[in-house]
Each structure stands twice: as structure tokens, then as C-alpha cells.
Amino acid sequence: MVERPGQAAPATVGFLMRSARAYQDQGNIYQATYAYLDVLDHYPEGKEAREARDRLLKIAQEYEESGQLHRAKDLYRRIDHAIGA
């Protein structure tokens, strides 16, 4: 299977999402964040990118609610950049 820009082999994007979810479930938010951003940056199409964006927005919201405003702001900016906003 030939991989085109913006299109991932299902195993690749699936691995990234499973890894990100596992990191998040284990409380490794930093690693989860970077895995989700990797999905958005390299595989912007499809349900995985939407899920990654939604999970990143939830993480940013949790930062905001816990008073970690600098982290929330940074993550919101990174999400915007990744989705081309």
C-alpha cells in the first residue's frame, strides 16, 4: 500500500492513537499530548484526527480548570496550528 501525504496506513495511525490513549490512561499527559499532536500533524484526515483533536481540547480544558493557564494556552495554540486555524 502506498502512503500519500495526509493519508496513513491504518496500522500507523491506529498505533499512534492506541499509544496516546494508553499514555493518557496512565496519567502520562505529556506523552499523550505529543502522540495526539503527531496524529493531527501527519494524518489530518479521518476520524482519528477528530478524536485526537477532541482529546487534546479536553486536556487543554483540564489544564485551564486546574489553573495551569500557560499550559492550556500553549496547547490551544498548538491545536490551532495543527488544524490550520
- Are 83 and 40 in contact by the 8 Å Cβ rule? The answer is yes
What is the tens place of the pLDDT at every residue in 22-31?
Answer: 999 999 999 9
Domain that holds residue 59: 10-83
The pTM is what? 0.84
**Nearest-angstrom CA–CA distance, 80 and 18:** 23
**Nearest-angstrom CA–CA distance, 38 and 32:** 10
Q: Is 70 within a domain?
A: yes
Looking up cell 503527531, which residue turns up?
Answer: 38
Q: Is 41 within a domain?
A: yes
Q: Give the CA-trace dihedral at 72, 31, 52, 46, to 10 degrees.
A: 140
Per mean pLDDT, which range of 7-11, 15-19, 66-70 is the poorest? Answer: 7-11
Q: Is 1 within a domain?
A: no
Q: pLDDT-based confidence at 46, cuts 50/70/90?
A: confident
Q: Is 4 within a domain?
A: no
**Nearest-angstrom CA–CA distance, 5 and 24:** 27
- Are 41 and 34 in contact by the 8 Å Cβ rule? The answer is no
Amino acid at 51: E
Q: Is 35 within a domain?
A: yes
